[in-house]
Amino acid sequence: MAIDVVVHDRRFLDLFDPDQDYVRIASGLTLGEGPVWHEGLRSLIFNDIPASKTYMYNERDGLRVLFDNGSKANGMCVDPEGWLLMCEHATSRLVRRSPDGRTVEVLADHYGDIELNSPNDVVQRSDGLIYFSDPIYGRLDKPASVPRPFPSELRPVYRYDPRTKRLSLAATEFENPNGLCFSPDERVLYVNDSPTCRIVAFDVEGDGSLTHERLVATTQGEGGPPDGMKVDEFGNIVCAAQQGLHWLTPEGKYLGVIIEPERLLNFTWGDDDFRTLYIACATGAYRLRTLARGCRYGRQATPGAGRRRASRKEQNHE
């Protein structure tokens, strides 16, 4: 399948070569989401939300179900020990899960006495602090959700400190926050607000607090609102939004748009050179190559190395 692009700035062609085809790596999904590159396994891991399945893909072995997550898992990231930090729609939890899926540690399910809405996307800073968005999407009457009442008016981004087990409000001025990512130096956190199509930036202070909120851009075009978001090695923002992948400078100037092969929700860079872009869509997953590398914040450990004991642990045997 050939790739179409919209070029807003000629610099875009230094970041992406449109003279290539999409390579389909998965089909028959019901809603692909949360793709992450696992360096220890040298594999892509992603979720099919309504099916509650977590898949693994690499070029050598192809595609297989890694485990049944049982929770309509959505966004993920990989921690320094090679475990998966997973947002769960069905249970309204943020969890830490071993790569084989058998061991689950609950990190957060309440803020005080208030149940979380439905954690959606998650990132981890190099010092261990975890940030995740908490919109209401996992509580709606949709296949990727479990319909139930909203626990409060909060639609925040949370900060979780694994050392103290403390959950804090990081930012609150959203209608429904969705994708989030750091700048390459981790001094800026970008968050998009799906209903308003806004991408906003915060300065990340040494203690992890977010300050100096400002509008970076409003994504343009018809179609689905902003969802998954990353930065490339140069700090350019890449966001899954209306009609495809929107590539913008850190100041919010449009560089170009890679037109989606179908409804696109999230993506990640992977492979040894971090120049393969893996995208998760409504019914399938695809890969393509970029001239710019994705931002690489740090190396992950071999799976199972340096496991730590958690205060709350579940054993799952699926």
User: Residue ranges of the domains in the chain?
Assistant: 5-299
Residue 214 tokens read as: 């400002």
What secondary structure, in 3-state letters, does 216-269 show? EEECCCCCCCCCCEEEECCCCEEEEECCEEEEECCCCCEEEEEECCCCEEEEEE
Per-residue pLDDT tens for 152-172? 999 999 999 999 999 999 999
**How many percent of the chain have pLDDT more than 70?**
93
CA distance 297 to 274: 12
Per the listing, tokens 């261990």 go with 128
Would you list the DSSP string of 9-53?
SGGGGGT---SSB-EEEE-S-SSEEEEEEETTTTEEEEEETTTTE
Instruction: Please report the pLDDT score of residue 304 as a whole number.
Output: 44
What CATH architecture does domain 5-299 belong to? 6 Propeller (2.120)
Average pLDDT score over the chain: 93
pLDDT of 314: 38
pTM score: 0.93
Q: Is 196 helix (H, G, I), strand (E, B) or coil?
A: helix
96's enclosing H/E stretch is: strand 93-97
For 211-237, write each residue's pLDDT tens digit.
Answer: 999 999 999 988 889 999 999 999 999
Token pair for 92:
């309204």
Spatial neighbors of 142 by CB under 8 A, at least 6 apart, are none
